[in-house]
């Protein structure tokens, strides 16, 4: 136990989930297919051949899950909404049963004093829209605006925090590479998707501001602490390129109103229409001021030069030194401080939520001390950031329950709660620990691998 920590009194201690990863009920109450429903059927796409058809069955067991959160003293719950439930045809008619589900979830959270934060889009695009070009379609920003406004207008009397998109970088990858839905595998499409996502995000921010809605609107980006593997000039350049594509391509337009030069040059080298990366009108929309920034932080990204890759960088997932999680992410808590400082320097005082942080810990399923250590180390760094005056307002662990972890299926274990074949929830040690951390407003964070035992 470590004394003398300082977290603001209204600090939001939370957990994050995403619709496709937990809900199941893939074809119930009018929900249409998402790109993930379709992608999971592809031979070899998912490590264990699974899908999100049932997932954690949260659709039918949300009360139990919210009760669990309440028992863990969770103050805020970040959930995502499935577009396919709200507007099954992607655009057009609203499905009342879809809205009703989230209505029930949100009302139940509120009845337990848990504040919801809504993510409007966490990767589960209606398949029907993908068939019309998906995120790369010229119409995408309008489609997204229409859907987002249905959700915002419906819930704005009860929900204050809305994030437009989760990790646009991952969506960029899903269009430029051939892994993760829709796995289009065309670099040019990845860049077009990026521009469209940022533009769609901006259109909504603009609308919320014009209408003076009483909500806080932001976006969730993932930031990786990127450094070159060696000081050799080629590695340094490779790391610079990775920084531009992974991090700056998203926060620079939103916070600074421009793209980094490397990104524009890369788009030009692919022969992309100038409107995507050169238009001032579009940039004006992309940079509409947000009320907060959500940051997902998981890892450091060691990087080396790779002549085979068009972008000339290669992420290193296993190096000789360093500690890695089961999914090959390098554990590097100090990187969190570094990325927060960058954001705070560009937008001093910007309210920041750590909207995701967590680890895939598979051994000792229920006695998950490694997770407790991972989270502790990050919280200590976060506390330093708070003390230095960075405006961090909340921290959300990824995630509540072991769930469908995209291409890893159910093999990854990011949850503080395990789930068995009968879908029974079994809290792990970390769940008990986190509830005590919250109760003590952070005082119970462990220092340097200290041990904590569940009180009897």
Using CB under 6 A as the criterion, which residues of the chain lie in contact with ligand BGC when the complex forms?
Answer: 18, 166-167, 170, 222, 296, 356, 398, 405, 414
CB of 182 to ligand BGC, least distance (A): 16
CB of 263 to ligand BGC, least distance (A): 21
CB of 14 to ligand BGC, least distance (A): 14
Distance, in Å, from the CA atom of 381 to the CA atom of 350, rounded to the nearest integer, reads: 18
Q: How far is CA 50 from CA 36, 39, 73, 105, 226, in A?
A: 11, 11, 32, 26, 32
Closest chain position to ligand BGC (CB): 18
Q: For residue 272, how many other CB atoms are within 10 A of its CB?
A: 19
What Rg do the C-alpha atoms of the chain give, in angstroms? 21
Residue whose CB is less far from ligand BGC, 188 or 329: 329
Residue whose CB is less far from ligand BGC, 305 or 398: 398
Residue whose CB is less far from ligand BGC, 235 or 360: 360
Residue whose CB is less far from ligand BGC, 52 or 228: 52
Distance, in Å, from the CA atom of 401 to the CA atom of 418, rounded to the nearest integer, reads: 6
Residue whose CB is less far from ligand BGC, 116 or 228: 116
Residue whose CB is less far from ligand BGC, 76 or 222: 222
Sheet with 313-315, side-by-side order of all strands: 225-228, 300-305, 313-315
Q: For residue 402, how many other CB atoms are within 10 A of its CB?
A: 26
Distance, in Å, from the CA atom of 340 to the CA atom of 390, rounded to the nearest integer, reads: 8
Residue whose CB is less far from ligand BGC, 34 or 296: 296
Distance, in Å, from the CA atom of 32 to the CA atom of 261, rounded to the nearest integer, reads: 40
Distance, in Å, from the CA atom of 182 to the CA atom of 184, rounded to the nearest integer, reads: 6
Distance, in Å, from the CA atom of 245 to the CA atom of 264, rounded to the nearest integer, reads: 10
CB of 402 to ligand BGC, least distance (A): 11
* Extended beta strands in 91-231, E state: 115-121, 161-166, 216-222, 225-228
Residue whose CB is less far from ligand BGC, 34 or 222: 222
Distance, in Å, from the CA atom of 365 to the CA atom of 363, rounded to the nearest integer, reads: 5
CB of 229 to ligand BGC, least distance (A): 23
CB of 33 to ligand BGC, least distance (A): 19
CB of 401 to ligand BGC, least distance (A): 12
SS3 446: coil
CB of 286 to ligand BGC, least distance (A): 21
Q: Check if the beta carbon of residue 79 is closer than 8 Å to that of residue 118.
A: yes
CB of 356 to ligand BGC, least distance (A): 5
* Extended beta strands in 399-450, E state: 417-419, 425-427
Residue whose CB is less far from ligand BGC, 282 or 378: 378
Q: Is the dihedral of CA 411, 417, 418, 422 positive or negative?
A: negative
């Amino acid at each position: 136990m470590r004394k003398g920590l300082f977290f603001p009194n209204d600090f939001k201690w939370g957990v994050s989930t995403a619709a496709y990863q937990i809900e199941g009920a893939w074809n119930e109450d009018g929900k249409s297919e998402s790109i993930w429903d379709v992608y999971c059927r592809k031979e070899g796409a998912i490590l264990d051949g699974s899908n999100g058809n049932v997932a954690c069955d949260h659709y039918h067991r949300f009360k139990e899950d919210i009760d669990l959160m309440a028992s863990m003293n969770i103050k805020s719950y970040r959930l995502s909404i499935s577009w396919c439930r709200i507007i099954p045809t992607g655009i057009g008619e609203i499905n009342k049963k879809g809205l009703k589900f989230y209505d029930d979830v949100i009302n139940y959270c509120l009845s337990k004093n848990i504040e919801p934060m809504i993510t409007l889009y966490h990767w589960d695009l209606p398949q029907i829209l993908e068939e019309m070009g998906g995120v790369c379609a010229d119409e995408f920003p309008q489609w997204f605006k229409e859907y987002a406004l249905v959700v915002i207008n419906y819930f704005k009397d009860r929900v204050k925090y809305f994030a437009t998109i989760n990790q646009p970088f991952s969506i960029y990858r899903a269009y430029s590479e051939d892994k993760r839905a829709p796995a289009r595998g065309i670099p040019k499409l990845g860049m077009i998707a990026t521009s469209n996502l940022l533009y769609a995000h901006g259109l909504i921010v603009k609308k919320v501001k014009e209408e003076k809605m009483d909500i806080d609107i932001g976006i969730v980006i993932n930031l990786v602490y990127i450094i070159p593997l060696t000081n050799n000039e080629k590695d340094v350049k490779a790391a610079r390129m990775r920084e531009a594509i992974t991090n700056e391509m998203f926060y620079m337009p939103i916070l600074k109103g421009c793209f980094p030069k490397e990104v524009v040059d890369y788009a030009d080298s692919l022969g992309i229409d100038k409107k995507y990366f050169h238009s001032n009108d579009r940039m004006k929309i992309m940079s509409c001021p947000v009320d907060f920034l959500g940051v997902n932080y998981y890892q450091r990204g060691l990087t080396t030069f790779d002549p085979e890759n068009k972008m000339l960088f290669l992420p290193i997932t296993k190096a000789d030194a360093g500690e890695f999680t089961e999914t090959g992410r390098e554990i590097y808590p100090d990187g969190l401080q570094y990325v927060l400082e960058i954001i705070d320097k560009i937008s001093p005082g910007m309210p920041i939520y750590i909207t995701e942080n967590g680890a895939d810990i598979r051994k000792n399923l229920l006695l998950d001390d490694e997770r407790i250590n991972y989270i502790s180390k990050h919280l200590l760094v976060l506390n330093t950031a708070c003390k230095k005056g960075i405006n961090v307002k909340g921290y959300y662990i990824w995630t509540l329950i072991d769930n469908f972890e995209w291409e890893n299926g159910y093999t990854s274990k990011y949850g503080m709660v395990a789930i068995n074949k009968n879908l029974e929830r079994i809290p792990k040690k970390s769940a008990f620990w986190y509830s005590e951390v919250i109760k003590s407003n952070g005082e119970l964070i462990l220092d340097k691998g200290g041990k904590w035992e569940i009180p009897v």
